[in-house]
Amino acid sequence: MYEESLRCVTLEAGQDLSASQFCFVSVAGDGQVDPTGAGALTDGVLQNDPNATGTAATVAIGGISRVVCGGVVNRGALIASDASGRAVAATTGAEIAGRALAAGTAGALIPVLLKLSGRATAA
């Protein structure tokens, strides 16, 4: 497990995110971050565990970050977010959040090369 060349920004938490450390987050219309929805565009990976609305949320927006798996993920797979902001293999139409640098199962932390753009297409 490793992290490398993380580029982070500090934003405000939109809710209690204490259970969302190392999950994908997105900036909402109010400028605060919330867990990314299933297949939705993500803005980064939460690095800390803010426990209240308005508290500092450190978000990795580039580099290699640890991310919690939401299911089975194969090494090299394109990654998207599930409904809780966890890493899952990208399906057609999902926004690509990165590429898995290791395999993992639900609940495992894996390194993900953040690649915050693009939609998955059929192979």
The yes-or-no verdict on residue 69 having pLDDT over 90 is yes
Which distant-in-sequence residues (6+ apart) come within 8 Å of 105 by Cβ?
69, 71, 72, 73
User: Mean pLDDT over residues 73-82, rounded?
Assistant: 97
Which value, to the nearest 10 degrees, does the dihedral of the CA atoms of residues 66, 69, 75, 79 take? Answer: -90
Listed by start position, the domains of the chain span: 4-62, 65-114
- What does pTM read for this prediction? 0.93
Please report the sign of the dihedral spanned by the C-alpha atoms of residue 66, residue 71, residue 74, residue 76: negative
**14-61: pLDDT as tens digits:** 999 999 999 999 999 999 999 999 999 999 999 999 999 999 999 999
